Structures are given as C-alpha cells and as structure tokens.
A and B are shown apart, each in its own frame.
Chain A
Amino acid sequence: MIHWLLALAQTLLFIAMAPFLLGWIKRVKCHMQNRAAPSLWQPYRDLGKLFRKHVVLAEQASWIFRSTPYIVFGATVVCAALVPLVAVDLPTAAIADVIVLVAFFSLARFFTALAGMDIGTAFGGMGSSRDMMIGALAEPVLLMAVFTLAMTASTTNLSEATTYTLNSGLVLRPSFIFAMLGLMMVAVAETGRVPVDNPATHLELTMVHEAMILEYSGRHLALIEWAGQIKLMIYMVLVANVFFPWGIATRLEANDLAVGLVAIAAKLVLLGVVLVTWETVMAKMRLFRVPQYLGFAFLLSLLGMLTHVVLETGG
C-alpha cells in the first residue's frame, strides 16, 4: 500500500516539478544571453493564466480537436509514472517497459498531428506533416538507444535497467556513451528544442510544434504546454537516471528518499545547464537539414549497439 502511495507521490512530484524545470532552463538561458531573466515560477503563472481563460473553439472543430489535449496530457502523465525519478522498484515501474513509453509518446504525437489537421488551417497541416517527418526519423533512434541499454542490462524495464547500472558500479561502457549521446540528440528533436525547432517563436516558416497547436486556447493550450514540459523532464530524467543512476533510492526509507530527491535535483540542474549551453552555441537548422541531424543521431545509437556486440560481449 505504502509503495503505491509513494509511486503516486513520485508521479505527482514529477508533474508538479516539470514547469519549474522549464523555468530553470529559461532562466539560465536568459543569463547566458545577457537578458533579464523571468522568475522561476513564471511557467506556473502562465499555466494558471491559461487555465482561467475561456476556450475558443473553431466551428469546424470535431471531437478529435477537443479530446486531444486530454489524451496528450494523459499519455504523458502515464509515461511520467513509468520513469524512476527518486526511487527504483516502485510498483508503477513494473507495469510497463520502455517500449511502451515510446509507444505512448507516439500516441500523443499521433493525436497532436490529427488535431493540427482537424481545424483545416494551412499552418496546422504544415506543422503536422513536419512533426510526423521528425517523428518517423526520431523514433528508430530512440528505440535503438533503448535496445543498446536493454542488451546490456538484459531487460527493457527502466527500473530494472537502472538497478543494473547502479549495481555494476563505474564501468566505462563505450556502448552507453554512444547511446547516451544519441538519446540526447533525439531528445532535443523530440521536445522541439533549438537546432530542430524553436519553442520561443511563432515564425510561420520555421515552427513545427507551435504550428500544430496554434488553434488551441485556454485550458486546452495549458494542458498541451504542461504535457510538453513533462515530456522534456521525462527525457532529462531518462538521461540522468539510466546512465548516471548514483544517488537514486533503492530502499524506501526516508533517508534514502531524501538523498534520491537531492541527487535527481542536482542532476537535473546540471543537465539543464548542458541543454542551455547546447542551445546557445547551436543555430536553428533548416528543416531539410533535420534528416541529416537525426541520421547522425541514428548512427550514434547504431554505433552504441555495434560497440556493445564487438567490444563488450567477451568473444
């Protein structure tokens, strides 16, 4: 019973902290670009403002358009429940493995793309087609990185894989380094960050994710934005906890949980700085360069798998 309560608390913490993480990233980015930074709580204020506003729906909007925000948010919250944040071996982690996680992400993507086309505006359809192109190229990379991990840990369950890396101590695995780099590159593409998409603009020539959700307003928009923040946090937690699991709680005691909480907070703060540095030194690339970028990410994941087979399996 206590396990389920803890799992619920962890998921709620995940959802509640996601806007804070985005606030941190924005703040560091502003500092790095010599701009005045907004408060760390700004994403919460934005969400609160959107939740209070009325929803404006187009006359042609069908049930797909109206239900998509809830589907996207629901799928993302389920994903958040699957990822070990503070502790491993929670009951929610045993429900599904990492392939289901990828599938939930593509479910959310599928419905967002449908909703983008549902209204029938030009921007929505354009955004949907671009996002599906990126998705079709990004998913193999994600799966390949996951398979590299699964081949090493002999499991596709995230919690068990984290326990495996934790127990094997410091091992310099070439495959993990390549898989991590591949995963980071694809995370940038999937969450619509700078070299692939820019979350801060609504420039019609370049926007991808913003184009699909252009017609949303009020609480629908709030849910979609919140889901996007959770998705960013899921990817960062994946990188932090699967490849650097040190500090995560293995026993459900107050002491261990506190250490786990501090550890994940420190890791996320550091990863946020890494992401901002990457975004600041990179320029947004042309849409037609994106396949090349993702092709390179695919190569990294593939090299991870190949080096695992060639170098790490005895012989």
Chain B
Amino acid sequence: MEFTQLSLYDQAILLLAAIVLFTSFIMLAQPRIVPLIHAFAWQGVLLAVTTALVAYVTNNPHLYISAGLNLALKALLIPWMLHRLAVRLNIHRDMEVVKYPSLTLLAGASLVVFSYYVAIPIVQLSALVTRNAIAISIAVILLGMLLMITRKKAISQVIGFMSIENGLFFAAVVSTFGMPMVVELGVAFDVLVAAVLFGVFFFQMRESIDSLDVDRLNRLREVDE
C-alpha cells in the first residue's frame, strides 16, 4: 500500500515509530548522564503514545492498559529512580567519554539497515498497518545493545538494557498488537525489580571499586594489604 493512501492516524503511528528510533539515536549520541535519562524517559512517553494510538486505530482496548503501564513505569517511575540514584551517587554531572562518536552513530545507522533486511520476510507475511514498524522495533533493540557495548558506566548500560526492553515491547505492539496481559504485566514488574536491583548493585560496586566504570571490574585488587 502506498504511504499516501494510509489514513492520517496510520501515518501518525509510523511517524511516532520513526521518532522512537530517533530517541534511540539521541541516547547513543548523548554523553551526559541526566540528559541520557531524560532521552530514555521521552522514549517511554513516545512508546506509550504510539501504543495508545495503535489501540485507538485497531480498536484493541487492552492496549490502553499496556500504554498506561508503559507510561507509568518507563516514562515516569524508572527514569525518576535512575535520576535519584545518579544524584545520590553524585554522578549526575559526569560526562562519559564516548570514543568515536560519529562512528558509533554510523554503526547505529547500519544496524537500522541490517534490521530492515532481517524484517523483510516478516513484513511480507503480515497484513497489519503497522508491519513496517517491525524493522524499527528490531533496530531499537539492536541500538540498545550498541549503547550497552559503547558505554563504560554501569548506569548508561542499565539505560541501554531498559531501551532493549522498550524495543521488545514495541515489537510486540506493532507485530501482534501486544502480548497476553499476564506476560506483559510480568515483564513490566521484572523490569521494575531489575531497576531496583541495579540500584543496589550500583552502591555495591561503588563500595568495592570506588567507581561505576565496569572496565575496572576486570582488574584484580588486593583486599588485605
């Protein structure tokens, strides 16, 4: 189907999908911690809006619950927790050194191309309006992984991990209009518990190695001197 023949709502869904992808790139390019958390929160907001729009267009009222859950958890609660952690650990003004920022962005762009090729067979099987966004959701997952690979600070890696979860949620919404509610609730609370655990883990890490740089976990350290 031609893009111009879609209804404005369908076009808006695809536009929001593109902006979700763009927030992934913003996270990839953002070296500072607090703006990184903000970008992550915006991605959660956009995902919730997209899900609500999909619910409205395809008449799937149960997706409203997913959208609300996503908004409450990934746009408000988890970013707030991460922000509070960053302030309490006194790393909220830190800059992370990203080696080769432009190269990372280009790698991200090639991941988008890759996920497009991966998604072609799925797209051809599907008849949904949102089928073209499947490639975008795979790209968001891969970009989250790339964020985890390129960063050294544990908190950025946690954000990468959460954005992988965003991508999975998005994939479920656009390819099958959401997972069963039990699964969705389970995943949502898993993510919440993970966020809490990561907080504890940050404090442990700082206790033992005085830094949140995961590279320093490789080094051996004498305990009794």
Contacts and interface: CB of A to CB of B under 8 A. Distances in A.
Contacts of A315: 120, 123-124, 131-132
Nearest to A307: B18
A91 interface: no
Contact of B112 (A296, A306, A312, A314): A306
B15 A174 contact: yes
B182 interface: no
Interface string A153-195: 0000000000000001011111101100000000000000000
Contacts of A313: 3
B136 A311 contact: yes
Contacts of B105: 295-296, 299
Given A172-B8, A306-B112, A312 B22 contact: no
Contact of A307 (B1, B11, B21, B29): B21
Contacts of A292: 101-102
B21 to A, nearest CB: 7
Of A172, A291, A295, A309, which is in contact with the most chain B CB atoms at under 10 Å from its CB?
A172
A83 interface: no
Given A295-B105, A303-B25, A303-B109, A310 B135 contact: yes
B200 interface: no
A299 B25 contact: yes
A230 to B, nearest CB: 32
A302 interface: yes
B102 A174 contact: no
Nearest to A314: B1
Contacts of A177: 15, 18
A291 B101 CA distance: 10
B132 to A, nearest CB: 5
Nearest to A315: B123
A162 to B, nearest CB: 16
Given A174-B14, A177-B15, A178-B18, A296 B29 contact: yes
Interface majority SS (helix, strand, loop, mixed), chain A: helix
Interface string B11-52: 110110111011001000100000000000000000000000
B97 interface: no
Given A311-B133, A314-B1, A315-B120, A299 B18 contact: no
A313 B8 CA distance: 16
Contact of A295 (B101, B133, B135, B136): B101
B109 A311 contact: no
A303 B21 contact: yes
A302 B106 CA distance: 9
B2 interface: yes
Interface string A41-58: 000000000000000000
Interface in B45-90: none
A71 B105 CA distance: 38
A153 to B, nearest CB: 12
B12 A172 contact: yes
Interface string A268-311: 00000000000000000000000110011001001100110111
B47 to A, nearest CB: 16
29 contacts: A170-B8, A171-B11, A172-B11, A172-B12, A173-B3, A173-B15, A174-B18, A177-B18, A178-B22, A292-B101, A292-B102, A295-B101, A296-B105, A299-B25, A299-B109, A303-B22, A303-B112, A306-B109, A306-B112, A309-B116, A310-B136, A311-B3, A311-B133, A312-B3, A312-B132, A313-B3, A314-B1, A314-B3, A315-B120
